[in-house]
Amino acid sequence: MVVGDFPIELDTLVVGAGPGGYVAAIRAAQTGQKVTIVDKGALGGVCLNVGCIPSKALIQAGHRFEEAHGSDVMGIKAENVTVDFSKVQEWKSSVVHKLTSGVEGLLKGNKVDIVSGEVYFVDKNTVRVMDDKSSQTYTFNNCIIATGSTPIEIPSFKYSDRILDSTGALNLKEIPKKLIVIGGGYVGTELGTSYANFGTEVTILEGMDDILGGFEKDMSSIVKRHLKKKNVKIVTNAMAKSSEVTDTGVKVTYEAKGKEETIEADYVLVTVGRYPNTGEIGLEQVGIDMTDRGLVKIDEQCRTSVDNIYAIGDIVAGPPLAHKASYEGKIAAEAIAGEKSIIDYNGIPAVVFSDPELATVGYTEAEAKEAGYDVTSSKFPFAANGRALSLNSGDGFVRLVTRKEDGLVLGAQIAGANASDMISELGLAIETGMTAEDLALTIHAHPTLGEITMEAAEVAMGTPIHIVK
């Protein structure tokens, strides 16, 4: 290859090395394509570096600190429990480093060329890659765009040392005494819970009538109940209006129930959504069709309106989930290879690592009815499961949404301990066309939380064992 004024010819170019891009690159290489991946930041993208992974590490550390104080109900008492937050951050960073270095090894192991720089599209077969020192032109046969998204900034809450996005909140050098969270979605709830477990006095300001709006009310109500036990204050239908940064913290003025209130905290965390990174990479040069929100329009194989360019992840419609991006990355790579893979979002789960965890996959009861199905909704409580009780985690339930005529599993929701792990079995049930009877006939080890899924299936069949019909 000649570097300089002459274009470098590529087979498949992947733009962005997050959970969508690096997975797409590896799958494309596995299908025999010669792949180059470009990213201006660290391998692993937002998820591995400043999102999914570090947030879960911080959440887990918060749980450990909370548990270390003992459990009176179990007869366990502890005194003088302390936390070295610099060590917590050091451990969190070590987890991130292991995974990001692992991604680099996987890419190199699959013979994917890695290029660092910022991409700008010149035309449908050409990009310019720039870094601080130079730029280089590349031509490609096919391209997968996976540039991810960026936190939305509220005009009256400009990011600073005191007003933080999720990245800033993950990298604090101290445990705040007080924290205001603007936005009660999954990011705000997760990080708010994490710091509450460390002893922070947390206030959540949510503009809608409830937190965790993407989940059903009987699920979010369990989380709210646990947040209140942690002394988290939740203000709904609240509009954050202005902020004043001082030497020691931030004053926030908000309006709720027609009345203005002012509260103070050490830091403010703003989590009101994300916008797609599509605005400054030259897509208008290529003629790719976009939505009014700046999302790229794609077909069922993640192909854009330009037939050799594909788009995946946060820059296309759907929830900004890492596993959705990875899934789409595989589809796009296989489509380039001539395979007949197509996207089917019905089996993609959504999870909140709250306390307790929430998870959903497929249809809710309301969505199934809206889609024209005659359904049965069947719920089994954690409180009737031996393993849940032995974990002191009896709050929650598993609910199955099944087609009434034959018991086909159309959807499921879990609120409770380890919901994030348990939802996979129900995603598999939807993907493979299983019925409630299939789940009920699957022998689950005892005593485990997985039995709750089996029991919910028996409720759907009308033959529950451990609750009265």
Catalytic residue among 97, 444, 446, 466: 446
Residue 326, annotated as binding a ligand? no
Residue 56, annotated as binding a ligand? yes
Residue 206, annotated as binding a ligand? yes
Sign of the dihedral defined by the CA atoms of residues 360, 363, 369, 370, in that order: positive
Among 8, 193, 197, 7, residue whose Cα is nearest residue 85? 197
Residue 334, annotated as binding a ligand? no
Q: How far is Cα 301 from Cα 318, in angstroms, rounded to an integer?
A: 15
Residue 186, annotated as binding a ligand? yes
Q: How far is Cα 99 from Cα 158, in angstroms, rounded to an integer?
A: 31
- The answer to whether 64 and 198 have CB atoms below 8 angstroms apart is no
Q: What is the dihedral of CA 109, 113, 119, 121, to 10 degrees?
A: -120
Residue with tokens 């709720």: 256
Residue 187, annotated as binding a ligand? yes
Q: Is 262 exposed, middle or buried (0-12, 13-18, 19+ CB in 10 A)?
A: exposed
DSSP state of 301: T
Helix ranges restricted to H, 52-117: 52-68, 85-109
Q: Is 446 annotated as catalytic?
A: yes
Residue 233, annotated as binding a ligand? no
Residue 185, annotated as binding a ligand? yes
Among 145, 129, 150, residue whose Cα is nearest residue 304? 145
Helix, strand or coil, per DSSP, at residue 343? coil
Residue 190, annotated as binding a ligand? yes
Residue 314, annotated as binding a ligand? yes
Q: How far is Cα 138 from Cα 130, in angstroms, rounded to an integer?
A: 11
Instruction: Pull the structure tokens for residue 453.
Output: 């899924």
Residue 35, annotated as binding a ligand? no
Residue ranges of the annotated binding site for FAD are 56, 147-149, 314
Residue ranges of the annotated binding site for NAD(+) are 183-190, 206, 273
Catalytically active residues are 446
Residue ranges of the annotated binding site are 56, 147-149, 183-190, 206, 273, 314
